[in-house]
Amino acid sequence: MLQSARMPPYSNLVSDSNLVQETIDLLRVSGGRANASQIVDAVFKVSHIDDELAGLLVGDLVRDDRRFKILNGNIVELQAYDCESRLLNELDYVVVDIEATGAKMPPNRIMELGAYRISGGKIVDEFVTLVNPEIPIPRFVIALTGITNDMVKQAPLFAEVAPQWLEFVEEAVLIAHNAPFDTNFINHEISRVYPGHRMINPHLCTVTLSRRAVPGLANYRLDTVAEHFGIYIADRHRAGSDALATAEVFIRILARLAAHGVRDLAAARSFQSPPLEPNDKEERLSDQPSLLPLVPSF
């Protein structure tokens, strides 16, 4: 029989297991629920297993994952995550920027993390810290960011920062300028602290949003978009300063989304990633290097 899973230490941490994702896919095509034996048969590829053992296997698989609920002992139900349908002005956002020792992980690590919480269209809280990356910072990164090895020597490790970071973010939508870079780096660090887990928070990217909301700029680097809105960046390529500028940019973009009929998170995600017309692909691809920087900040 399935046992009710204990609550996870952080509600925004979920399993990154392929088996869990396959279970989610199965439940989605099965009306949102299935018994443990069905899941074991389809996901574990094990047939003719007794209900008790099936319950133990699936119970262990989905333990501590808020996306699942166990009903009547051996039925697993996929829980609706209604964040996508919530109005943009009802959501909290955490705008984040990281500075790292290099653009690729591994082997590179985060050396500074900066974030600002937006609620009700205003910045209400901040989270800024240096992080000891436990590896040397290359000279060109020191020249770019001004962050030296001496500066991070006594800084907390990411493992020490992670609990406060997860509590700071909670259920907020993550925002970043070149969001895939920042969120992938953060989840890489999270997986080192909490093996097999990642953050479930949805994210939006101010690069792609600004490209749609503010067409016609020469490029969509943070400096350019911030200058368009008259936003001053005090200390470029430092996580706190860049995150603050990105937060100010996002607040201005939010004000423009309603004019485009974008009112909820699902619409915002679609708005930032419209289908490409065949003759647009070459132009958009030529702009892609800005989304994958050769240096660890955008």
- Catalytic site positions: 237
Report how far residue 39's alpha carbon sits from residue 61's, in angstroms, rounded to the nearest whole number. 11
Strands 173-176, 93-100: parallel, antiparallel or unpaired by DSSP?
A: parallel
Report how far residue 169's alpha carbon sits from residue 199's, in angstroms, rounded to the nearest whole number. 10
In 4-58, where do the E strands start and end? 13-15, 33-35
Total residues found in the chain within this entry: 298
Burial class (CB in 10 A: 0-12, 13-18, 19+), 175: buried
CA 100, 107, 171, 251 dihedral sign is positive
Report how far residue 130's alpha carbon sits from residue 136's, in angstroms, rounded to the nearest whole number. 14
Strands 203-205, 173-176: parallel, antiparallel or unpaired by DSSP?
A: parallel
Are the C-beta atoms of residues 99 and 296 closer than 8 Å to each other?
A: yes
Closest-CA residue to 12 (of 162, 159, 125) = 162
Structure tokens at 27: 């439940």
Report how far residue 9's alpha carbon sits from residue 118's, in angstroms, rounded to the nearest whole number. 24
Q: What is the dihedral of CA 96, 230, 119, 189, to 10 degrees?
A: 0
* Strand, coil or helix: 210: helix
Report how far residue 30's alpha carbon sits from residue 36's, in angstroms, rounded to the nearest whole number. 13
Task: Kindly state the greatest CA–CA separation across the chain.
Answer: 66
Residue identified by tokens 């953050």 is: 199
